[in-house]
Structure 1
Amino acid sequence: MRKRVFWPVLALVLPLVLTLIWWVPPAAALTENQQLFSQAWRIVNRAYLDDTFNHQNWWLVRERLLKEPLGTREETYEAIEGMLASLDDPFTRLLKPDQYRSLQVNTAGELTGIGLQIALDSESGTIQAIAPIEGSPAFDAGLQPGDLIWEIDGVSTVGLTLDEAAARMRGPVGTVVVLTVQRVNSEIREKIEMVRSRIALNPVVASLKTSTTGVPVGYIRLGQFNGNATAEVAAAINKLEEQGAQAYILDLRNNPGGLLQAGIEIARLWLDSGTIVYTVNRQGTLGSFEATGEALTDDPLVVLIDRGTASASEILAGALQDNQRAVLVGERSFGKGLIQSLFDLADGSGLAVTVAKYETPNHRDINKLGITPDRVVSRGDLMPTQIASGSDPQYQAAIDFLATEAVLAHAS
Structure 2
Amino acid sequence: MNIIPPADSASEPRPTKRVLPSTLVVIFIILAFALGYLSAQPVKKEIKGNSQVTGTHLPAPAYLTKDIDFQLFWQVWDYVHRNAFGRPLTDTKLFYGALAGMVAGLEDPYSIFMNPELAQEFNNELEGTFDGIGAEIGIRNNKLVIVAPLASTPADRAGLKAGDRIVAIDGIDTSGMAVDYAVSLIRGQRGTPVKLIVLSNGDTEPKEITIVRDKITIQTVQSELKKTANGQTVAYIKVVHFSQDTDQKFRAAWQQLKARGAGAIILDLRNNPGGFLDQAIALASHWVEQDVVVKEKMPEQDYQDYISVGPGDLSDIPTVVLVNGGSASASEIVTGALQDWQLATIVGEKTFGKGSVQDLQEFSDGSAVKLTIAKWFTPKEHSIDLTGLIPDIEVVRTREDIEADRDPQLDRAMELLQESD
TM value normalised by structure 2: 0.79
Q: Which one-letter code corresponds to 1:59 in the other structure?
A: L
Deviation at 1:228, TM superposition (A): 2.8
Deviation at 1:149, TM superposition (A): 1.0
Instruction: Give the match for residue 388 of structure 2.
Output: 370
Instruction: Give the match for residue 341 of structure 2.
Output: 323
2-structure distance, mates of 1:290, 1:248:
23
Instruction: Give the match for residue 300 of structure 1.
Output: 318
Instruction: Give the match for residue 47 of structure 2.
Output: none
Q: Secondary structure at the match of 1:217?
A: strand
Q: Which one-letter code corresponds to 1:93 in the other structure?
A: I
Instruction: Give the match for residue 314 of structure 1.
Output: 332
- Cα offsets for 1:214-239 (capped at 9, x unmatched): 11111111111112311111111111
Q: Which range is displaced more, 286-295 or 90-99?
A: 286-295
1-structure distance, mates of 2:140, 2:63:
26
How many residue pairs get aligned? The number is 360
Instruction: Give the match for residue 53 of structure 2.
Output: none
Instruction: Give the match for residue 211 of structure 1.
Output: 228
- Cα offsets for 1:319-353 (capped at 9, x unmatched): 11111110101111111000101112353211000
Is the CA contact (8 Å cut-off) linking 2:281 and 2:309 kept in structure 1? no
Residues 35-184 of structure 1 correspond to what in structure 2 (within 5 A)?
Answer: 59-60=64-65, 63-64=68-69, 67-69=72-74, 70=77, 72-124=91-143, 127-184=144-201
Instruction: Give the match for residue 417 of structure 2.
Output: 402
Deviation at 1:121, TM superposition (A): 3.4
In the alignment, which of 198, 210, 213 is matched to residue 193 of structure 1? 210
- Cα offsets for 1:198-255 (capped at 9, x unmatched): 1111111111111122111111111111123111111111111111111111111111
Deviation at 1:160, TM superposition (A): 2.8
Structure 1 residues 367 and 121 mapped into 2: Cα distance closer, same or farther (>3 Å)?
Answer: closer
Instruction: Give the match for residue 50 of structure 1.
Output: none
1-structure distance, mates of 2:348, 2:283:
20
Deviation at 1:63, TM superposition (A): 3.6
Instruction: Give the match for residue 20 of structure 1.
Output: none
2-structure distance, mates of 1:149, 1:26:
40
Structure 1 residues 214 and 382 mapped into 2: Cα distance closer, same or farther (>3 Å)?
Answer: farther
2-structure distance, mates of 1:255, 1:61:
45
2-structure distance, mates of 1:272, 1:336:
25
Instruction: Give the match for residue 286 of structure 1.
Output: 303
Higher relative contact order (Cα pairs below 8 Å, separated by 6+ residues) = 2
Residues 324-403 of structure 1 correspond to what in structure 2 (within 5 A)?
Answer: 324-381=342-399, 391-403=406-418
Gaps of 5+ in 2: 14-37, 39-61, 79-90
Q: Taking every aligned residue pair, what percent have the same amino acid on both sides?
A: 33
Is the CA contact (8 Å cut-off) linking 2:294 and 2:377 kept in structure 1? yes
In the alignment, which of 281, 292, 297 is matched to residue 275 of structure 1? 292
2-structure distance, mates of 1:344, 1:182:
36
Structure 1 residues 270 and 385 mapped into 2: Cα distance closer, same or farther (>3 Å)?
Answer: farther
Deviation at 1:129, TM superposition (A): 0.3
More helix by share: 1
1-structure distance, mates of 2:250, 2:403:
22
1-structure distance, mates of 2:390, 2:115:
37
Deviation at 1:114, TM superposition (A): 0.3
Is the CA contact (8 Å cut-off) linking 2:282 and 2:309 kept in structure 1? no
Deviation at 1:60, TM superposition (A): 4.6
Is the CA contact (8 Å cut-off) linking 1:338 and 1:356 kept in structure 2? yes
Deviation at 1:270, TM superposition (A): 2.7
- Cα offsets for 1:137-165 (capped at 9, x unmatched): 00111101110112222222223321221
Is the CA contact (8 Å cut-off) linking 2:354 and 2:386 kept in structure 1? yes
Q: Secondary structure at the match of 1:68?
A: helix
Report the RMSD for the aligned CA atoms in angstroms: 2.6
Q: Secondary structure at the match of 2:332?
A: helix
Deviation at 1:400, TM superposition (A): 0.8
Deviation at 1:77, TM superposition (A): 2.9
Structure 1 residues 256 and 65 mapped into 2: Cα distance closer, same or farther (>3 Å)?
Answer: farther
2-structure distance, mates of 1:219, 1:110:
24
Q: Which one-letter code corresponds to 1:67 in the other structure?
A: L
1-structure distance, mates of 2:101, 2:182:
17
2-structure distance, mates of 1:204, 1:66:
53
Structure 1 residues 366 and 121 mapped into 2: Cα distance closer, same or farther (>3 Å)?
Answer: closer
Q: Secondary structure at the match of 1:358?
A: strand
Structure 1 residues 249 and 75 mapped into 2: Cα distance closer, same or farther (>3 Å)?
Answer: same
2-structure distance, mates of 1:320, 1:304:
12
- Look at both structures and tell me which one has the larger radius of gyration over its CA atoms: 1
Q: Secondary structure at the match of 2:371?
A: strand
2-structure distance, mates of 1:182, 1:223:
25
Deviation at 1:376, TM superposition (A): 1.1
Instruction: Give the match for residue 246 of structure 1.
Output: 263
- Cα offsets for 1:245-286 (capped at 9, x unmatched): 111111111111111111111111233332111111223232
Gaps of 5+ in 1: 1-22, 40-46, 48-56, 408-412
Q: Which one-letter code corresponds to 2:72 in the other structure?
A: K
Q: Secondary structure at the match of 2:161?
A: coil
TM value normalised by structure 1: 0.81
Deviation at 1:75, TM superposition (A): 2.9
